[in-house]
Amino acid sequence: MSPQDWEKIYEREIPHWAIDMTPSLLAKRLCEHLPNKSGNKILEIGVGNGRDSIYLAKMGNKITGIDIAQGAIDLAKENSKKEGVEDKIQFQVGNAENLEFSDEGFDAVYSISVLQYTILVDSFKEIARVLKPGGKFMLHMYVMLKSGEKGKELTYWFYKEEKVKEIAKENQFIVERSHTSWDKKHKGEVTKVLVMEMHKKEK
């Protein structure tokens, strides 16, 4: 999907995935494994409604959150203001394939349900560039989508799990934990989810 496609989604109405403000389990897990209890510089790629950036900021961290859609950024800013943490988060339009940040500036990078829509080789390369050696990378992404009636399902692969792990290794990421699960989505779609906890190799 192009940036224009994402923008149109937010222009029509708040999308179904951007309504719930409950922080994800992955964001909570990230907090448990950060090098410091607070003050970590964290980049979230694909902020949606801002729920996880808001949670991570409330835990005392310094957050930069990007999304390819201005509509998502506007919504995230509005929600962060409601939650009283707008001064702790920098939201801006950005693209995972071309991050506008200096080298080794973040202690952790976090992304949920986004990177399957990017050129993964480019996104991993950029994440590795902006992440400090030893920094954490928490990834949740869809790898496969099924839709249609039972017995007539259409299957679409975003990326095979083995390919994602290969790309991670090529970019000096050490995988600590990974698992897959199935997730029932909007309008009867079923997705296969890959979750990976990694850190960038020390120099």
Is 186's pLDDT higher than 70? no
Helix ranges (H only) for 37-132 are: 51-58, 70-82, 120-130
**Model confidence pLDDT, tens digit, residues 34-61:** 878 889 999 999 999 999 999 999 999 9
Is 13's pLDDT higher than 80? no
Nearest to 175 by CA among 191, 146, 199, 194: 199
Q: Which pLDDT does position 189 carry in this prediction?
A: 80
In 28-172, at which residue ranges do the beta strands (DSSP E only) sit? 41-45, 62-67, 89-93, 106-112, 131-147, 154-157
DSSP state of 168: H
Q: What is the rounded average pLDDT for all residues in the chain? A: 90
Is 126's pLDDT higher than 70? yes
**Model confidence pLDDT, tens digit, residues 20-36:** 789 999 999 999 988 78
Q: Which pLDDT does position 92 carry in this prediction?
A: 97
pTM: 0.89
In the chain, the percentage of residues whose pLDDT exceeds 90 is 73
Q: Which pLDDT does position 64 carry in this prediction?
A: 98
In the chain, the percentage of residues whose pLDDT exceeds 70 is 88
Asked if 64 and 36 touch (Cβ cutoff 8 Å), the reply is no
Task: Pick 1 or 61 by higher pLDDT.
Answer: 61
Domains of the chain: 3-200 (3.40.50.150)
